[in-house]
């Protein structure tokens, strides 16, 4: 009896459902843990006919029942996983290990088993799959953006040169402007791809999120229209965040547009901020480390989303709208995760949606920048060596530099650049080099040339994403960098800036 008592205490104390049933799955015993895991009283398990079959999720029922019946008929122990509908309507994943006790004729006489709640494990598995999928698509998006950036540099650059050379009365001037507008739209798409892939060049500064929201209120009101009410609930003494202000504004704009489109008949858009101390369980769900965060939530009273839609909304090119790129929420996801934060969504059909953004709190004082006027582009007479493996970009950069007064030398790769430097008797003041090239990278070319010409200054350009540039050591402090695509004016400004700056080292 003492042994039996200890055994019963052990069974009742297990964090699992221990059960016995006859060959038709009519239960004769279940431990008390079943009430905690699934919410049904023990008496219901024992008294209700076909209890187990009745509460298996309808999508799993046929396959699970047929496989279990076949295993029992063969006298074979077996394991399976299925979804079970709990008493409160929750879906609980169970892993069931079943032992078949045979009668004298070898048929099933009794079934015993242990059911373990694996709902959290399933959630983590799905989170991992989603993370891996987003990472893979992000790598693809980053590679596509690089190729487009090279093409767009040439298209944008030559369109700019045409606009400068053709008079406004020339019909070709308008054609060149249309080319430029189309290229600008394409460049905006590549920026969104880079944002989603979490590989764009961010310029983080210390920010007051309340100030960012307040400064955007007028713009947001115009954006959402008169039939949607804008409400802001900004927490006092809000913590500071480290983020790229332009990108953070893009996040809020994209979420506001998404909310507006979900409320075609009007409604309320609410933007709220708060300080949050995120503990470990919640942090794992958001996908961030535990700690102090600033939360920004964007809520609407629109049509809402089902679970299937929610599982895809951050994927690029996924959209439920008749028009649109499907990059708005993908861009939001990329910017927030690259900034060290996380984003969640809560929604249901007909009940609106709430997007919650979490950014790590940082210490410091926000310094508001004053207005800066862009100076006119200064010309130069220095000698510049251009190293670029993309012929159209190489020709464009050389032509732009010559137009601004520089002597421009050009090489298609690192070996040609080294040979050209050997032949060139005069000084070379600046190296403008692509970062990632076949055979010899931009930093390798610069290192070899600096050994021969220590007075040389270096400006790197690239259409590649942030991780590729960082791997080549270019984003270190003090290194000059220009992201493709760029306009001729931007290139000229940057070249003059690098040449005018004090030489380091």
In angstroms, rounded to a whole number, what is the distance separating the alpha carbons of residues 469 and 471? Answer: 5
Q: What is the pLDDT of residues 201-248, one digit of tens each?
A: 567 889 999 999 998 898 888 888 889 999 999 999 999 999 888 788
Q: How far is CA 495 from CA 413, 472, 488, 498, in A?
A: 20, 21, 11, 5
The predicted pLDDT at position 4 comes to 63
pLDDT computed for residue 93 by the predictor: 94
DSSP state of 234: P
Half-sphere exposure (Cβ direction) of 293: Cα atoms closer than 13 Å: 26
For residues 244 and 165, membership in a common domain is answered with no
Amino acid 371: pLDDT: 47
Q: Are residues 175 and 76 in the same domain?
A: no
56 and 65 in contact (C-beta within 8 Å)?
yes
pLDDT at position 360 is 94
Same domain, 33 and 135: no
Q: Is residue 370 part of a domain?
A: no
Domain match, 232 and 345 both: yes
Examine residue 372 and state whether it is found in any structural domain, yes or no. no
Distance, in Å, from the CA atom of 337 to the CA atom of 132, rounded to the nearest integer, reads: 14
Both tokens of residue 344?
A: 């969640």
Whether 57 and 89 map to the same domain: the answer is: yes
Indicate the number of domains in the chain.
Answer: 4
223 with 351, same domain: the answer is yes
- Residue 254 near residue 195, CB atoms below 8 Å: no
Residue 458 and residue 430: Cα distance in Å, rounded? Answer: 6
Does residue 212 sit in the same domain as residue 330? yes
**What is the predicted pLDDT for the residue at 479?**
77
Torsion from C-alpha of 324, 327, 330, 331, nearest 10 degrees: -120
Q: Is residue 161, in this structure, part of any structural domain at all?
A: yes
Domain boundary residue, one of 170, 196, 222: 196
CA distance 347 to 302: 10
Q: Which of 196, 223, 254 is the last residue of a domain?
A: 196
* Owning domain of residue 421: 383-500
Whether residue 299 sits in one domain with residue 256 = yes
According to the model, what pLDDT value does residue 245 have?
Answer: 84
Convert the pLDDT of each residue in 395-415 to its tens digit: 999 999 998 999 999 999 999
Considering only CA atoms, which of 485, 489, 492 is closest in space to residue 188?
485
> What pLDDT is stored for residue 193 in this prediction?
62
CATH number, residue 226: 3.30.565.10
Per residue in 344-386, pLDDT (tens digit) is: 999 999 999 999 999 999 987 665 554 445 556 778 899 999 9
Mean pLDDT by 10 residues, the chain (505 residues): 66 82 88 90 91 89 88 87 91 92 76 91 78 67 72 86 85 86 77 57 82 89 88 94 86 89 92 92 85 95 88 75 66 85 91 94 68 64 93 91 93 94 92 89 92 92 62 58 87 92 72
CATH number of the domain to which 101 belongs = 3.30.450.20
User: pLDDT value at position 71?
Assistant: 87
304 in the same domain as 390: no
pLDDT of residue 239: 94
336 shares a domain with 210: yes
What's the pLDDT score for residue 169?
86
DSSP string, 253-321: HHHHHHHHHT-TT-EEEEEEEEEEEE-HHHHHHHTS-SEEEEEEEEEE-S----HHHHTTTTSTT--SS
Give 264-273 pLDDT, tens digit per residue: 899 999 999 9
Residue 262: name the closest of 302, 227, 301, 308 by CA: 302
What CATH number is given to the structural domain containing 400?
3.40.50.2300
Q: Are 210 and 237 in contact (CB under 8 A)?
A: no
In this structure, the answer to whether residues 99 and 229 fall within a common structural domain is no
Give φ, ψ of 298 to 5 degrees: -120, 115
């Amino acid at each position: 009896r003492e042994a039996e008592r200890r055994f019963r205490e052990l069974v009742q104390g297990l964090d699992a459902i221990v059960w016995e049933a006859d060959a038709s799955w009519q239960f004769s015993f279940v431990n008390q843990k079943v009430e905690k895991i699934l919410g049904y009283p023990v008496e219901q398990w024992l008294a209700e006919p076909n209890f187990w079959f009745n509460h298996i999720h309808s999508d799993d029922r046929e396959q699970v029942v047929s496989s279990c019946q076949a295993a029992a008929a063969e006298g074979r122990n077996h394991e399976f996983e299925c979804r079970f509908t709990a008493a409160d309507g929750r879906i609980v994943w169970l892993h069931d290990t079943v032992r078949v006790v045979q009668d004298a004729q070898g048929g099933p006489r009794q079934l015993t088993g242990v059911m373990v709640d694996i709902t959290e494990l399933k959630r983590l598995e799905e989170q991992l799959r989603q993370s891996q999928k987003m990472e893979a698509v992000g790598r693809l998006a980053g590679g596509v953006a690089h190729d487009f950036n090279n093409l767009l540099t040439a298209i944008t650059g030559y369109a700019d040169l045409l606009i400068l050379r053709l008079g406004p009365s020339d019909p070709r001037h308008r054609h060149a402007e249309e080319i430029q507008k189309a290229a600008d739209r394409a460049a905006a798409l590549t920026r969104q791809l880079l944002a989603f892939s979490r590989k764009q060049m961010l310029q983080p500064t210390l920010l007051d999120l309340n100030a960012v929201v307040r400064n955007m209120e007028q713009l947001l009101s115009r954006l959402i229209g008169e039939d949607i009410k804008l409400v802001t609930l900004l927490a006092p003494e809000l913590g500071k965040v480290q983020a790229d202000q332009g990108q953070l504004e893009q996040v809020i704009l994209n979420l506001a547009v998404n909310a507006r489109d979900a409320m075609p008949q009007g409604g309320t858009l609410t933007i709220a901020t708060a300080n949050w101390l995120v503990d470990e369980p919640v942090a794992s769900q958001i996908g961030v480390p535990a700690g102090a965060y600033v939360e920004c939530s964007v809520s609407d009273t629109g049509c809402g989303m089902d679970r299937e839609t929610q599982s895809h909304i951050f994927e690029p090119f996924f959209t439920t709208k008749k028009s649109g790129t499907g990059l708005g929420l993908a861009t939001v996801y990329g910017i927030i995760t690259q900034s060290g934060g996380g984003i969640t969504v809560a929604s249901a059909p007909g009940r609106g949606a709430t997007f919650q953004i979490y950014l790590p709190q940082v210490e410091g004082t926000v310094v508001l920048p004053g207005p800066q006027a862009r100076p006119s582009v200064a010309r130069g007479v220095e000698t510049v060596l251009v190293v670029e493996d993309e012929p159209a970009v190489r020709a464009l950069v050389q032509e732009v530099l010559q137009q601004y007064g520089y002597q421009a030398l050009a090489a298609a790769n690192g070996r040609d650049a080294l040979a050209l430097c050997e032949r060139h008797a005069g000084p070379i003041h600046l190296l403008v080099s692509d970062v990632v090239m076949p055979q010899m990278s931009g930093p390798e070319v610069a290192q070899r040339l600096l050994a021969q010409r220590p007075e040389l200054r270096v400006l790197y350009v690239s259409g590649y994403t942030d991780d590729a540039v960082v791997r080549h050591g270019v984003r270190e402090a003090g290194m000059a960098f220009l992201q493709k695509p760029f306009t001729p004016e931007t290139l000229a400004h940057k070249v003059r800036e690098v040449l005018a700056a004090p030489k380091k080292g």
